[in-house]
Amino acid sequence: MLLWIAFSLMTAAAILAVLWPLRAGASAPAASAAQADLAVYRDQLAEIERDRESGLIGPAEGEAARAEVARRILRATAEAEAGRVTACGADLRRRAVAVIALLGVPLLASGLYFTLGSPLYPPQPLAQRLEARPDQSDIAILIRKVEGHLEANPDDGRGYEVVAPIYARIGRLDDAVRAWSNAIRLLGSNAQRQTGLGEALVAQSGGVVTAEAKAAFQAALAQAPDDPKARYFLGLAAEQDGQPAEAARLWSALAAASPPDAPWQGLLRESLARVGAPAPAVAPGQGSGQGAGPGAADVAAAGSLSPEERQQMVRGMVQRLSDRLAQDGDDLDGWLRLMRAWNVLGEADKAKAAAADARTHFAKDDGALGRIDTLARELGLGS
């Protein structure tokens, strides 16, 4: 409310700046140009006189200067006589100006402001955000507080463990990897930490299970042989290494070992279908199209969702990425991620379309084209 009052007052001040000088009876006649000139010349004459008295210029020079100024005065006087014109039509003009100010200023200012500004978004001074109660703080501030605590106590493994999944969820994947590594270093290895690290690594490399990530999942399995996440990702690793049979074996075993209503059954069914293996007998999920998409960490975070919700979430994420790139296509990595994601979801046509769009967008950038083509070949999309 206060903001709107301030805006109104400011607008009023701008309008008043025009109306005030226009009000009737305010017109004291201003000096005409020639009159102003004459005033200057008279001052100059007085100045010459002063200089002569103080001896700065000789009498002869003074006389010459006086003569010159006198010539200027004569000319200015002639102009002053000739140049008297009176303004006419003043009333109409002033009314027009007043109307322009009264309408134009609020219209232009509000029109432009409402397209550019965010009047409902309050200021966010840092001190105030830091003082807010934890349940009202934004996540960035909570993380910052944990970070502050960790800076003071760099050996507090619990702190890293708390903040690591949050990093992963908000997409600060490098930090997530570092935090999980620290937690493992300080608190020792366990299945949960190793899978967390592995997932963060997978997300960091855009869905690819790297050797490092594979090692983490294997370490997890060494401590908890039936950890479903680790088993799933090792299957994915096998698939990406070009061993679909091995992947099918791992996933089938996981599906068989899991309760039939486990939330990941749908994902497994989908994955098995992708590598051409028969679906396990116990598979109540009906999801179709699932995999390591734009962020494997998100997929894992979605573990608690129903298969439909999960599928929708993944597709939504890919679609959002696609929409964003359609708007602003300068993000080459984004395009590459999109191609990979559609391919993983089994939408080869969409992946091809994304590759084509990316090529048009980077038509002038040979380096980018090279990368797009390489990936397209890898994914078997043809060029």
Partner 1 sequence: MNPEIGHYALVLSLAVAILMTVIPIWGARSGDEALMRVGSTLALVLAGFVSLAFAALVSAYVQSDFSVLNVVENSHSAKPLLYRITGTWGNHEGSMLLWVLVLAVFGALVALFGTNLPARLKANVLGVQGSIAVAFLLFILLTSNPFTRVVPPPAEGNDLNPILQDIGLAIHPPLLYLGYVGFSITFAFAVAALIEGRIDAAWARWVRPWALAAWGFLTLGIAMGSYWAYYELGWGGWWFWDPVENASLMPWFAGTALIHSAVVMEKRDALKVWTVLLAILAFSLSLLGTFLVRSGVLTSVHAFATDPSRGVFILGILIFFIGGSLALYALRAPTLRQGGIFAPVSREGALVLNNLLLTAAAAAVLVGTLYPLALEAFNGEKITVGPPYFNLTVGALMLPVVFAMPFGPLLAWKRGDLAGAAQRMMAAFGLAIVAGALALWAQGGGPLLAPFGMGLAVFVVIGAAVEIVERAGFGRLPAATAFARLRGLPRSAFGGALAHAGIGVCLFGIIAETSWNAERITGVKVGGSFEVGGYELTLDRLEPRNGPNYRDLVGVFSVRKGGVDAGTIESAKRLFTARNMPTTEAGIRTIGFSQLYVSVGDELPGGAVGVRAYWKPFVTLIWIGALIMALGGVLSLSDRRLRVGAPKPAKKPKARPGPDADPAAPVPAE
Partner 2 sequence: MTRKGRRLLLISGALGVLAVAAGLVLFALSDTIVFFRSPSEIAAERTAPGTRLRLGGLVKDGSVVKSDNTHVRFVVTDGGGDLAVNYVGLLPDLFREGQGVIAEGTMAPDGTFTADSVLAKHDENYMPKEVADALKKQGVWKEGEGKP
**368 counts as binding partner 2 under rule CB under 8 A:** yes
139 binds, among partner 2, partner 1, none (CB under 5 to 8 A by kind): partner 1
**139 counts as binding partner 1 under rule CB under 8 A:** yes
31 binds, among partner 2, partner 1, none (CB under 5 to 8 A by kind): partner 1
Query: Are residues 347 and 340 in contact, defined by beta-carbon separation less than 8 angstroms?
Result: no
Distance (Å, rounded) from C-alpha 294 to C-alpha 335? 11
**54 counts as binding partner 1 under rule CB under 8 A:** yes
Query: 343: how many CB neighbours lie within 10 A of its CB?
Result: 22
From the list 115-123, 186-194, 242-250, 273-281, the region that binds partner 1 by CB under 8 A is: 115-123
Q: Which spans in 23-156 are helix H? A: 33-53, 59-82, 90-99, 105-116, 126-131, 139-152
**102 counts as binding partner 1 under rule CB under 8 A:** no
Instruction: Pick between residue 61 and residue 308 the one whose CB is nearest to partner 1.
Output: 61
Instruction: Pick between residue 261 and residue 330 the one whose CB is nearest to partner 2.
Output: 330
Q: Which of 167, 220, 218, 212 is nearest to 189 (CA)?
A: 220
**70 counts as binding partner 1 under rule CB under 8 A:** no
370 binds, among partner 1, partner 2, none (CB under 5 to 8 A by kind): partner 2
DSSP letter assigned to residue 24: T
367 binds, among partner 1, partner 2, none (CB under 5 to 8 A by kind): partner 2
Instruction: Pick between residue 135 and residue 333 the one whose CB is nearest to partner 2.
Output: 333
- Residue 367's Cβ-side half-sphere holds a number of Cα atoms within 13 Å equal to 2
Burial environment of residue 294 by CB neighbours within 10 A (0 to 12, 13 to 18, 19 or more): buried
**Among all chains, which residue has been given the structure tokens 């008297």?**
84
Q: ∠51-53-55 over CA atoms, to 5°?
A: 70
**367 counts as binding partner 2 under rule CB under 8 A:** yes
Q: Which of 331, 347, 348, 373 is the binder for partner 2 (CB under 8 A)?
A: 331
Distance (Å, rounded) from C-alpha 280 to C-alpha 288? 15
**122 counts as binding partner 1 under rule CB under 8 A:** yes
**14 counts as binding partner 1 under rule CB under 8 A:** yes
Instruction: Pick between residue 67 and residue 120 the one whose CB is nearest to partner 2.
Output: 67
Instruction: Pick between residue 21 and residue 316 the one whose CB is nearest to partner 1.
Output: 21
**366 counts as binding partner 2 under rule CB under 8 A:** yes
Q: How far is the CB of 366 from partner 2 (least distance, A)?
A: 4
Q: How far is the CB of 179 from partner 1 (least distance, A)?
A: 16
Q: Which of 93, 370, 374, 383 is the binder for partner 2 (CB under 8 A)?
A: 370
Which tokens in the block code for residue 115?
């397209």
Q: 3-state DSSP call for residue 121?
A: coil
Q: Which spans in 153-243 are helix H? A: 157-169, 173-187, 191-204, 211-223, 228-240
The residues that touch partner 2, with contacts defined as CB under 8 A, are 330-332, 365-368, 370-371
